[in-house]
Amino acid sequence: MTVKIKWKPLLFWTLGTLAVGALSSVVGGAMKGFNGINTPSITPAPAVFSIAWTVLYLLMGVSAYLVYEAKGGMTKKALALYVSQLAVNFLWPVFFFRLHAFTFSFIWLLLLAVLVIITAVEFKKIRPAAGYLLIPYILWLAFAGVLNCMVITLN
């Protein structure tokens, strides 16, 4: 079986998702990392965050591409969920890094996690691989939640 990749949609979803992540990092002040914030000892080095988020955004973009290419009646709802979680994801660094609203950021992160899980379930209904590609994202959000809670207690 030969799989034909449609490069324009693939680039749209992957580069678009990466662009949202990059812009979020700049607007949210994440480039400064955890400067001025007391962090737990399990906090990864800044380079780990950059690498992890780049990989996660690529996986997210490929996942959205797979759903987009599946066509069908369920794709619009699933992609709307995807865009919604991406918007919520975009704002988290603003709340956490720029505003230092750590408790609100944790609540926002819970909203994000719920949206991503729902998106993964909807994606899996359309293209199982698309749903599975979001699992590392969900796991990273769980780790981010632990870090966020620890930052609340330390600050």
Token pair belonging to 142:
């769980």
pLDDT, residue 32, reads: 81
Would you state the pLDDT for residue 72?
79
pLDDT the model gives residue 14: 98
User: pLDDT tens track of the chain, all 155 residues?
Assistant: 677 999 999 999 999 999 999 999 999 988 787 888 999 999 999 899 999 999 999 999 999 999 999 987 789 999 999 999 999 999 999 999 999 999 999 999 999 999 999 999 999 999 999 999 999 999 999 999 999 999 999 99
For residue 1, the model assigns a pLDDT of 62
Q: Please tell me the pTM assigned to this model.
A: 0.94
